[in-house]
Amino acid sequence: MSAISVRLGGVCAVLGAVGYLAAGALHRDLPSGAANAVPHVAAHPEWHAIHLLAILAVALWPIAFAGLAAALTEGWSGVLARIATGAVLVGFVIYVLDTALDGYVLKVVSDAWAGASGAGKQEAFLIASAVYRVLQATFVAAIIWLVGVPFLVMGLAVALGRAFPRWLGWAAFLVGLLVTVAGITYYLGLDVIPHLAGFVGPSGVLMIWMLVMGILMVRSSARAKV
């Protein structure tokens, strides 16, 4: 185990979790439907800054996962930890695309709609509505590949390892599984799991999990130096 990698990963886990929770609290849920979402975005001048904070926070997650993988090196635990790190990298790329659409493109076209009048306002709304529809697809992909699969796999890695409490691993595995299944149902257009229960609540739980894991990683790296 590289104590420096684990410690750096722990610090990034703490900062990444706190930053994501802060951005989520400021962002809140985007209203359902373009007719509600476009005026909402246009009314929030801080929209760009909130999404920049979210991107910066999530950019720390791959480092956090890599640090955790450095502490999980035995057998299937080590293999799964590295798969999870790869998965969160994929999720980060998708998330940047999704957040760029939400935080920049949707804001620009929503502001254009707010400032238009007459026939131009209807045209601007159609453009904003098209962006909103694309955003629904990227958002579902981000749910699955950023908050679902990586935590499901990393949770299993922790549960099968001996470096950290195994119950924490099983907890992340189960919550990550819930998010993954919810994301798949959203993709299929099935109204089975409410958004609050399938993404909003579980993502908050996983951020608390990452915060706790970050603290444990920093402590374990300190013991490794002794």
Q: What is the pLDDT of residues 13-25, one digit of tens each?
A: 999 999 999 999 9
Predicted confidence band of residue 225 (pLDDT cuts 50, 70, 90):
low
Does the pLDDT of residue 1 top 70, yes or no? no
List pLDDT tens digits, range 125-150. Answer: 999 999 999 998 899 999 999 999 99
List pLDDT tens digits, range 107-127. Answer: 999 999 999 888 888 999 999
CB 205 within 8 A of CB 175: yes
Does the pLDDT of residue 226 top 60, yes or no? no
User: What gap in Å lies between CA 147 and CA 24, rounded to an integer?
Assistant: 13
Determine the distance from the C-alpha atom of residue 100 to the mean position of all C-alpha atoms in its chain, rounded to a whole number: 14
What average pLDDT does the segment 195-200 reach? 86
Give me 104's structure tokens: 């920049």
Which secondary-structure segment (H or E) carries 146?
none
CB 23 within 8 A of CB 102: no
List pLDDT tens digits, range 42-85. Answer: 999 999 999 999 999 999 999 999 999 999 988 999 999 999 99
Predicted confidence band of residue 224 (pLDDT cuts 50, 70, 90):
low
User: What gap in Å lies between CA 143 and CA 91, rounded to an integer?
Assistant: 8
* Contact residues for 181 (Cβ-Cβ < 8 A; gap 6+): 193, 198
User: What gap in Å lies between CA 124 and CA 89, rounded to an integer?
Assistant: 35
